[in-house]
């Protein structure tokens, strides 16, 4: 960090930013504003982590969320005061629910401005309530500050990163509020900083030697107890009818292979949510990884006997069919595993909650299973696999309706590509239409609170964090929410492929009973807009192409090969797709 401190505000900001980087903050997202000038100055002067500047705070929050997911570490978000802070709220809700580490560094007016009618001043103290893992009000910068106060600035960042990374609970957003008096710019203020510090700063100013953090963070490993693992293993061995539910946001590494191996050993179907990280990858060849459950269970299909055991990992699943099935499997023993003991079971069935690392738990159960234990060729598993084959057969005869665009996109993706899907219809199409396959595809959707806002910004954050090549598939309403992030795409020269399923409005509402009541259905629910987005592409310098559903695979493959930012608009009829889907459910149910 620099050693020239023209005033107390710059000194404050240089110290906290330096320690944030030392603590492992991976990137910073800053938005233009006046009161945050000291913090932006300090972030811009360091060259150890990248700094991005979207055009507005709501997009910046979602962009940072994508960065944190891609970089697997904390990301700082810097805003000015007032409504700028409030615009972070949607991304905060999403990060809190998913468990992504955002470090919110909001600038504020000094205390004398509070409750005074001063411009751009709102109450920012604990603005996000209990939606953040921790809140702290930074001390107001002082002239010639004592060293203990400066040490407290560094430990402020130590504690903030510890809370964000899950050392005191689940990972998630943290809010630090920084009040500043003018001057906010790096103007020299005689007497603010001792002259001797410009050349020989004390230890709290320059930090630990060799770039070390002020306080090193070491987290405990969540290892399940052997006695409990043995008890579970024995119980599973005596229960031939079970299912493994892999919900969203599970880890990569060795976990997918381990969970697949456990399901295969037990003869349990592994119901892989599209956001679980298990639906697409080489482990699909090795185990009973299923995806047809989404349509089958919603159609009312069920095995002759209910499961005895339900092993649950990750967040709540996307699909209504599986959620309804979980509700009805009340007599089964539901075992919930989560490293932070988060309650992720809206049906409230679990009889056992393990706080343990997911992979350690699975490997521990595998090791504890008796050698003679296994149901890998059981009638129970064959029943589920027959269901999967029946769904696959029905999908092969599907017409080129909106949902089939997701199948085409996945077909066109290269190995190890990233697919971002919007909420409402795209993620449901992915779950229902695209069955497991051995191609490795990393899938993301903002299913923490499942809003349609911020999808494009999150996708661009993932892209900036190295998740490339990237294809984002979202609806036209969701696309309209988030257009200004495309200015950053043009500025940075990124090359995403954006596929807009254009059903001219809120096609999701065709799945709800309100579709039968018009008015108000068309005007106030589906809400058609008639825009074609060609002008959007010209404004932001994207290659534009209108594509039929049957041509999506070729168009996506071509766009990826071109390596230029592309907007592919796919005109669709959500009503026609829903009619086809309902027909499939009826045929499956009658069969």
Residues 548 and 472 in one domain: yes
pLDDT of residue 222: 85
Tell me which of 394, 421, 454 is where a domain ends.
394
For residue 145, tell me if it sits in a domain. yes
> Is the same domain home to 175 and 299?
no
> Using an 8 Å Cβ cutoff, are 241 and 373 in contact?
no
Does residue 349 form part of some domain?
yes
> Would 218 be classed as within a structural domain?
no
Please tell me whether residues 412 and 304 are part of one structural domain. no
Q: Which domain holds residue 298?
A: 226-394
CATH code, domain carrying 371:
3.40.50.1220
- Give the chain's domain count: 3
Q: Give 10-residue mean pLDDT values along the chain (591 residues).
A: 79 98 98 97 98 97 98 98 97 98 98 89 95 98 97 98 96 98 96 92 95 93 92 96 98 97 96 98 95 96 96 96 97 97 96 96 97 85 96 93 97 98 96 98 97 96 97 97 95 98 95 95 95 96 98 98 98 94 90 73
Q: What confidence score (pLDDT) does residue 218 get?
A: 92
pLDDT confidence of residue 219: 87
| Same domain membership, residue 485 and residue 575 | yes
Same domain for 402 and 390: no
Pick from 447, 236, 410, 431: which is nearest to 322 by CA? 431
In a domain, 208, yes or no: no
Q: Give the residue from 364, 394, 424 where a domain finishes.
A: 394
Domain-located, residue 213: no
pLDDT value, residue 146: 97
At residue 198, the pLDDT reads: 85
Name residue 29's beta-bridge partners: 52, 77
Question: In this structure, what CATH number is given to the domain that contains residue 166?
Answer: 3.40.50.970
3-class DSSP string for 229-277:
HHHHHHHHHCCCCEEEEECCCCCCCCHHHHHHHHHHHHCCCEEECCCCC
CA distance 553 to 561: 12
Whether 573 and 534 map to the same domain: the answer is yes
Same domain, 446 and 384: no
| Model confidence, pTM | 0.96
Question: Can you give the pLDDT at residue 232?
Answer: 97
Q: 100-139 burial, b if ≥16 CB within 10 A, otherwise e?
A: bbbbbbbbbbeeebeeeeeeebeebeebbeebbbbbbbbe
Which pLDDT does position 377 carry in this prediction? 77
């Amino acid at each position: 960090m620099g050693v020239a401190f023209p005033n107390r505000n710059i000194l404050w900001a240089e110290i906290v930013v330096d320690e944030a980087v030392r603590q492992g903050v991976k990137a910073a997202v800053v938005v233009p504003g006046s009161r945050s000038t000291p913090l932006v100055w300090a972030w811009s002067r360091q060259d150890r982590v990248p700094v991005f500047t979207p055009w507005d705070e709501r997009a910046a929050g979602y962009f940072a969320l994508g960065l944190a997911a891609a970089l697997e570490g904390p990301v700082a978000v810097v805003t000015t005061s007032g409504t700028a802070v409030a615009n972070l709220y949607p991304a905060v809700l999403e990060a809190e629910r998913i468990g992504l580490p955002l470090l919110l560094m909001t600038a504020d007016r000094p205390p004398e401005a509070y409750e005074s009618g001063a411009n751009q001043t709102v109450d920012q103290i604990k603005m996000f309530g209990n939606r953040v893992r921790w809140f702290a009000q930074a001390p107001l910068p002082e002239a010639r500050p004592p060293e203990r106060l400066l040490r407290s600035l560094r430990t402020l960042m130590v504690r903030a990163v510890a809370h964000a990374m899950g050392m005191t609970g689940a990972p998630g957003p943290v809010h630090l509020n920084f009040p500043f008096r003018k001057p906010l710019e790096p103007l020299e203020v005689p007497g603010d900083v001792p002259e001797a510090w410009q050349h020989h700063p004390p230890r709290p100013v320059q930090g630990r030697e060799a770039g070390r953090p002020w306080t090193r963070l070491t987290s405990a490993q969540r290892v399940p107890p052997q006695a409990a693992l043995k008890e579970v293993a024995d119980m599973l061995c005596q229960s031939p009818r079970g299912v493994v539910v892999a919900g969203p946001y599970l880890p990569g590494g060795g976990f997918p292979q381990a969970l697949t191996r456990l399901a295969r050993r037990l003869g349990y179907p592994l119901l892989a949510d599209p956001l679980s990280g298990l639906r697409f990858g080489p482990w699909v060849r090795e185990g009973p990884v299923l995806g047809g459950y989404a349509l089958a269970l919603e159609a009312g299909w069920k095995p002759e006997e209910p499961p005895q055991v339900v092993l649950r990992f990750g967040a709540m699943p996307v699909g209504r069919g599986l959620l309804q099935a979980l509700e009805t499997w009340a007599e089964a023993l539901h075992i919930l595993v989560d490293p932070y003991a988060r309650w992720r079971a809206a049906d409230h069935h679990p009889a056992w909650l393990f706080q343990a690392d997911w992979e350690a738990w699975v490997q521990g159960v595998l090791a504890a299973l008796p050698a003679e234990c296994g149901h890998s060729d059981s009638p129970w598993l064959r029943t589920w696999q027959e269901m999967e084959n029946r769904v696959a057969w029905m999908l092969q005869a599907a017409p080129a309706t909106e949902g089939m665009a997701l199948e085409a996109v996945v077909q066109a993706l290269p190995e190890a590509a990233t697919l971002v899907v919007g909420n409402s219809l795209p993620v449901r199409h992915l779950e229902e239409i695209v069955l497991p396959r051995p191609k490795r595809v990393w899938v993301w959707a903002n299913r923490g609170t499942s809003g349609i806002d911020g999808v494009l910004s999150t996708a661009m954050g993932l892209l900036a964090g190295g998740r490339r090549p990237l294809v984002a598939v979202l609806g036209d309403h969701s696309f309209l929410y988030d257009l200004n992030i495309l200015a950053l795409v043009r500025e940075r020269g990124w090359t995403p492929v954006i596929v807009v399923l254009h059903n001219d409005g809120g096609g999701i509402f065709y799945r709800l009973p309100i579709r039968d009541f018009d008015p108000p259905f068309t005007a106030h629910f589906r809400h058609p807009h008639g825009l074609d987005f060609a002008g959007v592409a010209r404004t932001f310098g994207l290659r534009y192409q209108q594509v039929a559903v049957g041509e999506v695979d070729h168009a996506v493959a071509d766009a990826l090969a071109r390596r230029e930012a592309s907007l592919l608009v796919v005109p669709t009829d959500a009503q026609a797709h829903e009619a086809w889907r309902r027909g499939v459910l009826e045929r499956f149910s009658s069969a």
